[in-house]
Copies of this chain bind each other. A is one copy, B any other.
Amino acid sequence: MTDGTIPITDPSDSTADVALGVDVGGTNIKLGLVCANHEVLAEWTLSTHEERGPQDALTRICQTLNDFLDQHNIERKRLLTAGLATPGTMDIPGGLILRPPNMPHWVNYPVRDEFAQLLGVPVAYLNDGSAAAFGEFWAGTGRDHSNMIMLTLGTGVGGGIIIDGNLLHGVNSFGSECGHIVVDSSDDARTCVWGGGQGQLEAYASASALVARVLDRIASGESSQLSEQGESLTAKDIYDAAGVGDTLAVESIEKTAYYLGIAVTTLVHTIDPGLVVLGGAMGFGGAGDPIGSRFIDVIRQEFVRRAFPLVGERTTIDFASLGSSAGYIGAAGYALATMDGSGI
């Protein structure tokens, strides 16, 4: 798997202006201080403590930042802006987090303006999938491209779409939800974790879907070295078992890749970005990773088989390169890119 280790520049070596990037998840908040040249001066992971609500988390984020600035004698005026990424649903123009799944205490909250007030700089607000995509676009696998789709494969499947350098937010702040395109229209298709969403990508290609696929096959009597693991099984376990040749693990990863190939076909025929980037906790990959290579090869094969030849030849499918830092780096990069109010 991509380890996502980002080199940290010693802040005493830097005099550049910086942006704070914040990527809020249900369990953890990742944040970092990022320069316009993509250098990262510091990164942190905080517990979300979701049950304490957003005010508590935003206060802790500011405290973490302030302690760091004090400790390193960094002038506060070097902080120009901040980018804040959260899961949807959300109202991006209004700066509101609306009703994110699994975050019952972050509901209908004016998160952008509250954060801007605490922090004392303008805050750009965006979806977490968009933030990861913008990170890879700005400083990662997509840095030489002007168009890109990113899929983040984790508990769910997130996405981000960049067209001519602009993030696609959607008129209801619901664009780029690539995990919710339909890949199986059969009557017995699986449903997403939110209960609806029959046949949608998330139920077929998330880390949770991979685990569910393996557990289903074990329950139906198939043999695997994973048989004894029960409900504690993770995507990483399946990846490791595939690495030592466990057939059920290999086939289950290939089936995941097959559905991703279908999804990539649909997305590329819609957007035609030239580049599709795969990231997230299930983003197998990196040089010399045979399972990751097999995973992406099956995606490519299925895509090329289904796509128009011209676009099949001219589309690159590749792994993300910033690991779990993509979200806060993208949030910071987006804040810097939209500082002039151009609203990328």
Report which of B89, B184, B274 forms a contact with A172, defined as CB distance below 8 A: B274
A177 and B265 in contact, given A170-B271, A185-B259, A270-B271 (Cβ under 8 angstroms): no
Residue of B nearest to A159 (CB): B270
List residues 144-189 of chain A with CB under 8 A from any CB of chain B. 146-147, 161, 163-164, 166, 168-178, 180-186
Is A68 an interface position by the 8 A CB rule?
Answer: no
Query: For residue A176, which residues in chain B have a CB less than 8 angstroms away from its CB?
Result: 270, 272
Query: For residue A171, which residues in chain B have a CB less than 8 angstroms away from its CB?
Result: 146-147, 272-274, 314
The answer on a CB contact under 8 Å between B270 and A161 is: yes
The answer on a CB contact under 8 Å between A183 and B180 is: no
List residues 293-329 of chain A with CB under 8 A from any CB of chain B. 305-306, 308-311, 314-315
Query: For residue A164, which residues in chain B have a CB less than 8 angstroms away from its CB?
Result: 166
List residues 183-230 of chain A with CB under 8 A from any CB of chain B. 183-186, 194, 196-200
Work out how many copies of this chain go into the complex.
2
What is the bound-complex CA distance between A129 and B183, given in angstroms? 24
Is A69 an interface position by the 8 A CB rule?
Answer: no
How close is A215's CB to chain B, nearest CB, in angstroms?
22
Residue among A176, A185, A310 facing the most chain B CB atoms (10 A cut-off)? A185
How close is A309's CB to chain B, nearest CB, in angstroms?
8
Query: For residue A98, which residues in chain B have a CB less than 8 angstroms away from its CB?
Result: 310
27 contacts between A and B (CB under 8 A): A89-B308, A146-B171, A163-B163, A168-B271, A169-B272, A170-B272, A170-B273, A170-B311, A171-B272, A172-B310, A172-B311, A172-B314, A174-B269, A174-B272, A176-B270, A177-B272, A177-B308, A181-B265, A183-B185, A184-B185, A185-B185, A185-B262, A198-B305, A198-B306, A199-B262, A200-B306, A270-B271
Known: A172-B274, A182-B306. 18 other contacts (CB 8 A): A146-B171, A147-B171, A161-B270, A170-B273, A171-B314, A172-B311, A174-B269, A174-B272, A174-B308, A175-B271, A177-B272, A178-B270, A180-B269, A182-B262, A183-B185, A185-B259, A194-B308, A266-B266
